[in-house]
Amino acid sequence: MKPSSLMSMALLAMAAVTQISFAADSAGCEGGGFQVLGRSGAQNTTVPANMVSTVFRVQGKYVQFDVDAATFGIRNYTLTGAPNALDITGGMATQVFDSKMPDHRGLALTGDVSVSLSSSADIVLTRTGPGLTMKIQAKDCANGGLFQMEVARADETKTLFTHILAQSAFYFDNRNFRDREGDQVPYKDTFIKVASRINFGNDYSMKFVGRDSPQFADRVAEPLCTNNILTRFGTYARVQHCGGVSQWWVASGGRMGQVMGEDATEVAPPATACTHKCQAQNQTRGGSTVLGFPFPVAPADRLQPRMP
């Protein structure tokens, strides 16, 4: 099969999985909206490649981050702390991720940048290069499903994504989930089994919590970050996950999302593929059990070491 045909298939696959957690309502998004590459307000436009700087800022009321134009990796993902009833920062600018970088193994994005800005505070950025397409979706809200990054490759191989948390943030094994592991809890009109949950948080915002949300992606277990976590049964579970970084093999057409706040501690099935008007997460608000998280997080549940 020709590379162009493979790329078309990958793009179709990308379109079919774009779903993590954008809420359908505007709660937490009041007054939100992004500015990027000199554009703002609801529009669909294209920015010529020669007008795209090496690194550019995506600036919102509640969210801001920088984009590396050649890879569509991001740096300095920050919640601004702007006033909102659903704020999880305590009103402080709070860096969440230092970076989220895909390893394209020599490929680069070189084309024009497609920009879609909506009146509902979301943005979609797309760029292509030889054998490669990347898409970023983000929402300018105080919490919820705020971000996702998708990749499609003509050779249909997987891409390694590396997520590095801000220095003040850390991954932890959520004790509220671990102590309910195996229980059946309500989900919509049925029940769902509680599994263990890895979240990230910090030590100064009691509502600040998030999680990585994969689809067609597998986390890389890190033996150098082996943690023994006490279970409800008095035994220990081995968790090979570092405290400040995670890595993921993402299939061509797959994605990595980011969920913040209450949605990050709900018991719900993984996101399902969608084929029409896809957004960043299945809308389960009001239909699932929220277990929350302990604050502060106990030292025994904080994943160590920070880096391998």
**139 and 146 Cβ atoms separated by less than 8 Å:** yes
In a domain, 162, yes or no: yes
Of residues 242 and 1, more confidence is placed in: 242
Q: What is the pLDDT of residue 295?
A: 98
- Helices within 142-286 (DSSP H only): 175-178
91-144 residue pLDDT tens: 999 999 999 999 999 999 999 999 999 999 999 999 999 999 999 999 999 999
In a domain, 16, yes or no: yes
Helix (H) or strand (E) holding 176: helix 175-178
Domain of 168 in residue numbering reads as: 3-301
307 inside domain: no
Residue 65 belongs to a domain: yes
Assess contact for 145 and 280: CB atoms under 8 A.
Answer: yes
Nearest to 60 by CA among 35, 81, 85: 35
Using DSSP bridges, classify how beta strands 63-68 and 132-139 pair: parallel, antiparallel or unpaired.
unpaired
Higher pLDDT, 25 or 258: 258
Q: How many domains does the chain have?
A: 1
Say if residues 242 and 306 touch (Cβ distance below 8 Å).
yes
| DSSP summary character for residue 179 | T
Rounded distance, CA 170 to CA 303, Å?
A: 8
For 232, list phi and psi in degrees, rounded to 5: -65, -15
Residue 308 forms part of a structural domain:
no
* Domain-located, residue 130: yes
Report pLDDT digits (tens) over 20-50. 334 334 889 999 999 999 999 999 999 999 9
Burial group, residue 42, by CB count within 10 angstroms (0-12, 13-18, 19+): exposed
| Pair of tokens at residue 56 | 């550019």
Q: 10 Å Cβ neighbour count for 101?
A: 18
pLDDT digits 0-9 by tens, 134-188: 999 999 999 999 999 999 999 999 999 999 999 999 999 999 999 999 999 999 9
Task: Examine residue 19 and state whether it is found in any structural domain, yes or no.
Answer: yes
Examine residue 267 and state whether it is found in any structural domain, yes or no: yes
pTM score, two decimals? 0.89
Structure confidence by residue, pLDDT tens digits, 57-90: 999 999 999 999 999 999 999 999 999 999 999 9
Residue 6: CA count within 13 A, CB half-sphere: 13
